[in-house]
C-alpha cells in the first residue's frame, strides 16, 4: 500500500507539533530532510538536526538528501560529513536532488560520481530525485550506478514511468508551514531497511570494479595509493587472507574483497 512522506528543508517546521500535523492532515509515514546544498556552508539547513530528530521520533524512519549544484565528488563528501554528524547510519536512504537549471554537461555521469562516493562510504540505500522531464532527457536511469530508487516530481499527474516515489504536490500545509508531499510506491522512503551484512570473495582470479575502487600498499588497507580502479575496470587478483581479513591482491596493491565493490568474472 502506498504511503505519503514529506520533503523538508529550511523553509519547513521542525517541532514535534509540525510532525503531528503532518500525520493527522496527510497520514504521513516518513520524511526526507535536505541537509546540504552544493558545498556551501551558508546553505546548510539550519533546522536539519531538529528535523531529523523529530521526524525519527514521529515516524520511526527518516531519510536525507542533498541539493546538487555541479561538483559531484566535493558535494558528496560534504553531504556525507553532515550525514555522519547527524548520526544517520548506513541503512539510511540517501538521495541526491538533481534539478538545478545551471547544471550542464553529462548529468548522468555527474550523478554517478556522486552516488559512487556514497556507495564507497558504505551507504548503499540510494535514491535520485528529479522532474519527469529530466529523467526523460538528461538523466539516463538505465545507466545510473548502484540501482538507486527513483523519486520523480510530476505535479498533479502520475508519471508514466517506473518509479519508487512520486512527488505529487507542492501545496501541502501543516502547522503553519507549506510542504511538498510525495507518495512512496515501493516502501523504501517510509520504512527502515536493515543494513546488509557484508560478504567477501573467497575465490576468483579475475574481477571487474563496480565503482571507483581504492588501492592500498598493505593488506590492512592503511596505506592508500594514488592509482585506483575506475568503474568497469577489469583486473587480475588473488584472494588472500590475514586472520579474519580477506582482500584481493593485485599487481598494483590490495583492494577490498567486499562483494559490493566488484563483480567476479572468473
Which pLDDT value is given to residue 115?
A: 97
Phi-psi region of 232 (alpha: psi -120 to 50; beta: other; left: phi over 0): left
Say if residue 123 is in the same domain as residue 215. no
> Does residue 226 belong to any structural domain of this protein?
yes
Which pLDDT value is given to residue 38?
A: 97
Say if residue 51 is in the same domain as residue 128. yes
Say if residue 24 is in the same domain as residue 80. yes
Q: What angle do CA 139, 143, 144 make, to 5 degrees?
A: 75
Alpha-carbon gap, residue 165 to 147, rounded angstroms: 14
- What's the Cα-to-Cα distance from 63 to each of 4, 6, 12, 29, 247, rounded to whole Å? 13, 10, 15, 12, 32
Say if residue 137 is in the same domain as residue 76. yes
Which pLDDT value is given to residue 222?
A: 86
Say if residue 176 is in the same domain as residue 213. no
Alpha-carbon gap, residue 46 to 23, rounded angstroms: 23
Which pLDDT value is given to residue 79?
A: 98
Q: Could you read off the pLDDT of 36-83 as tens digits, one per residue?
A: 999 999 999 999 999 999 999 999 999 999 999 999 999 999 999 999
Go through 125-160 and write b for each residue having 16 or more CB atoms within 10 A of its CB, e for each that does not: bbbbbbbbebbeebbebeebbbebbbbbbbeeeebe
What 3-state class would DSSP assign to 135?
A: helix
The cell for 232 is 568497469
Q: Phi and psi (nearest 5°) for 237?
A: -155, 155
Which pLDDT value is given to residue 193?
A: 62
Say if residue 236 is in the same domain as residue 170. no
Say if residue 135 is in the same domain as residue 210. no
> Which range of residues forms the domain containing residue 253?
206-264
Paired with 31 in beta bridges are 6
Say if residue 214 is in the same domain as residue 111. no
Q: What is the DSSP letter of 220?
A: T
The cell for 253 is 596493491
Say if residue 224 is in the same domain as residue 128. no
The cell for 202 is 573467497
Give which of 45, 33, 121, 42 is closest to 77, Cα–Cα: 121
> Does residue 33 belong to any structural domain of this protein?
yes
CATH number at residue 7: 3.20.20.80
Q: Phi and psi (nearest 5°) for 240?
A: -125, 150
Alpha-carbon gap, residue 188 to 195, rounded angstroms: 13
Which positions ≥6 away from 23 have C-beta within 8 Å?
Answer: 58, 59
Burial class (CB in 10 A: 0-12, 13-18, 19+), 67: buried
Paired with 153 in beta bridges are 131, 167
Which pLDDT value is given to residue 198?
A: 80
Spans in the chain with pLDDT lower than 70: 1, 193-196
Q: What is the DSSP letter of 15?
A: S
Amino acid at each position: 500500500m502506498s504511503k505519503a512522506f514529506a520533503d523538508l528543508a529550511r523553509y519547513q517546521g521542525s517541532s514535534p507539533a509540525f510532525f503531528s500535523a503532518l500525520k493527522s492532515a496527510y497520514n504521513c509515514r516518513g520524511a526526507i530532510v535536505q541537509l546540504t546544498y552544493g558545498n556551501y556552508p551558508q546553505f546548510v539547513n539550519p533546522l536539519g538536526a531538529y528535523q531529523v530528530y523529530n521526524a525519527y521520533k514521529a515516524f520511526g524512519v527518516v531519510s536525507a538528501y542533498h541539493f546538487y549544484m555541479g561538483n559531484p565528488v566535493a558535494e558528496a563528501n560534504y553531504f556525507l560529513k553532515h550525514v555522519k554528524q547527524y548520526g544517520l547510519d548506513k541503512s539510511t536512504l540517501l538521495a541526491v536532488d538533481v534539478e538545478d537549471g545551471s547544471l550542464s554537461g553529462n548529468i548522468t555521469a555527474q550523478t554517478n560520481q556522486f552516488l559512487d562516493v556514497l556507495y564507497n562510504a558504505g551507504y548503499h540505500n540510494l535514491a535520485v530525485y528529479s522532474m519527469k522531464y529530466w529523467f526523460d532527457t538528461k538523466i539516463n536511469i538505465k545507466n545510473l550506478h548502484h540501482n538507486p530508487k527513483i523519486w520523480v516530481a510530476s505535479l498533479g499527474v502520475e508519471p508514466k514511468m517506473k518509479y519508487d516515489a512520486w512527488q505529487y504536490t507542492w501545496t501541502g500545509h501543516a502547522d503553519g508551514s507549506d510542504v511538498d508531499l510525495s507518495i512512496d510506491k515501493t516502501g523504501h522512503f517510509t520504512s527502515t531497511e536493515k543494513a546488509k551484512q557484508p560478504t567477501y570473495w573467497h575465490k576468483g582470479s579475475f574481477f571487474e570494479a563496480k565503482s571507483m575502487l581504492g588501492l592500498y600498499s598493505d593488506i590492512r588497507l592503511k596505506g592508500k595509493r594514488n592509482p585506483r580502479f575506475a568503474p568497469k575496470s577489469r583486473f587480475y587478483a588473488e584472494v588472500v587472507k590475514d586472520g579474519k581479513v580477506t582482500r584481493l591482491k593485485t599487481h598494483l596493491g590490495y583492494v577490498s574483497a567486499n562483494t559490493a565493490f566488484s563483480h567476479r568474472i572468473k
